[in-house]
Amino acid sequence: MTTLNNFLRLLQLEIQQSQSPAISVFGAAPYHPGTPILPAPQVPALLVHNGLNKNDLHDPSVPVAVQVVLQPDMLLGDELTLYLGDTPVAVEVVRLEHEAGIVTFYLMPYVFPQEGEVTLHYHHRVPPSTAFSVSKDVGPFLVKQTVPGNPDPDPSTPYINERLTPATGIPAVVPAGRPLTVTIPRYMNIAENDVIVLHWSNQEIRKTVTAVEASTPGMALTVIVSADIIDSAPGLGLIVRYDIHDTVMNWSLYSLEAFADVIPPGALDAPGLPQATDDDELDVDELDGDDVAVQIPVNGNLPVGTTGTLTWTGIPVLGPRLTFTLDFQIVKAGTRITLYVPYAQAAALVGSTATVYYEALIGGVSTPSQRISVAVIGQPVTLEKPTLVGVTGNTYNPALIGGTHQEVTVPQYGFTASGQTVILLWEGRTATGSPVYIQQTHEVTSDTPQDIRFMIDVLYAKGLGTNTTLKVSYTIIAEGTSYASPILELTVVGVPNNLPKPTTEPVFQGGEIDPGAVGPTFKVVVEPNPVL
């Protein structure tokens, strides 16, 4: 009934707005008189993407949560109306289930434009009065559902967008000691402030697209690779590729690869990867848990007694740059020495590229080797679902909670680093269909991977309706990029229904209605209860 009443109230507002003589072709006129005095609503998704992107809106059945923190003068029965710009989009009545102090609106994706800036605010009204107070805006914030380089033509390559063709302008042999201008082919859905990252071996060069570049179809997109970067990364067959993020963190995936040969004077011989194929691919699945062998040439390359450091590095699809180093020493003459990179370091780069090189101290001078790059393939690494302590299977009974909180565990993940943020989302619905939504944040202060524990107040668990679905997930924000976990979905069971049965006047014995014994109508009575 509450949901129906909210819908009817929203419909009433829309009709009133459409019939207002003050409407212009540019939208609604002054529906929000006076100075906004209430705090702006909150949109948790904005913390992750600085706007709403395709991931937020691509599933038409998954809504966007908007939260209003109740103020001291907001009481049971008060009405809150949420506006997108000047258009009413949702109505909620303050009820007992909002005793935690937060009212959550769920806006379906169709409410938002495909692209453009929007604002959200709300009105607070105390029925039956028609007077209301107005909140401040959240926004304007960008809604953008177009992705740089989309659509990806081949879903079977989940981290490569074949529509992003290789970078050009790379000669057969890249001369050392001077910069190189690399051209990025123009791409679909190019927009001002897109950030293009050119990955030159293990170096990153960033370019922000200007308004002129975005709006001029024939204009070249160029990135300058400095002489220092070229000289610091010598090698044969170095992988060069790029990817793009727009301002709301829509990601293009990686481009197809180009290759570069850089041979500066004095560079040491490149290391070898005997487990890689002739096509420079390293299949992690075929390693079967074994470490990665790296061979460093010795005879004619490194004198006995030389010390050095091996480096294995790359940018995982999931997480920021990974770098593993291992010290070595040449203790005797020979063809080569073999070092081993832990299996986990290779598995973390599935779907990406590993760059391998070493530096050796020869005659007191640190001398770099040439570099090799390999594409790391295999079963991709993903985040694990969160877990609820004491819960197994795919059902959830809040009545079994012992204590005042439900503990939720975010499993440890390999790219943990201090300064990251983990955001937990707990979403469900009450028996009446009203949303239950809570977001908690944890700031990571250690580089050591470990489980992260969140405590959810029992109110948000026992308020869930029987046979509804509880969804629990988390997002990791690392170096400005967000990584979303799979969603744990549980069917809520065992929650007692304390709503009284409705009665009728007159009473029908045995539940059977005799049409001849009643008039054109009869009364159905719902007794007062905590939900209404």
Q: What is the DSSP string of 425-475?
A: EEEEE-TTS-EEEEEEEEE---SS---EEEEEETHHHHTSPTT-EEEEEEE
| Structural domain boundaries in the chain | 2-144, 147-265, 387-492
DSSP code of 423? Answer: E
Closest CA to 374 of 358, 357, 355: 355
- Return the CATH architecture of domain 2-144: Sandwich (2.60)
Rounded Cα–Cα distance for residues 6 and 432 (Å): 12
Q: What angle do CA 332, 336, 342 make, to 5 degrees?
A: 110
Round to whole Å and give the CA distance between 325 and 302.
19
Class of domain 387-492: mainly beta
DSSP type of residue 318: S
CATH no. of 147-265: 2.60.40.10
Each residue's pLDDT expressed in tens, for the chain with a length of 532 residues: 445 555 555 555 555 555 454 433 323 334 566 789 999 999 988 988 889 999 899 888 889 999 999 999 999 999 999 999 988 999 999 988 888 888 999 999 999 999 999 999 999 999 988 888 999 999 999 999 999 998 888 888 888 999 999 999 999 889 888 999 999 999 999 999 999 999 998 899 999 999 999 999 989 999 999 999 998 888 878 899 999 999 999 999 999 999 998 877 788 999 999 999 998 999 999 998 899 999 999 999 999 999 999 999 998 887 778 899 999 999 999 999 999 999 989 988 998 899 999 999 998 888 889 889 899 998 877 899 999 999 999 999 998 888 899 999 999 988 888 889 999 999 998 887 778 888 899 999 998 889 999 999 998 998 898 999 999 999 998 877 778 899 999 999 985 555 677 888 777 777 677 777 677 777 888 877 655 5
Tell me whether the CATH fold assigned to 147-265 matches the one assigned to 387-492: yes
Tell me the HSE value of 373 on the side-chain side, using a 13 A CA sphere. 25
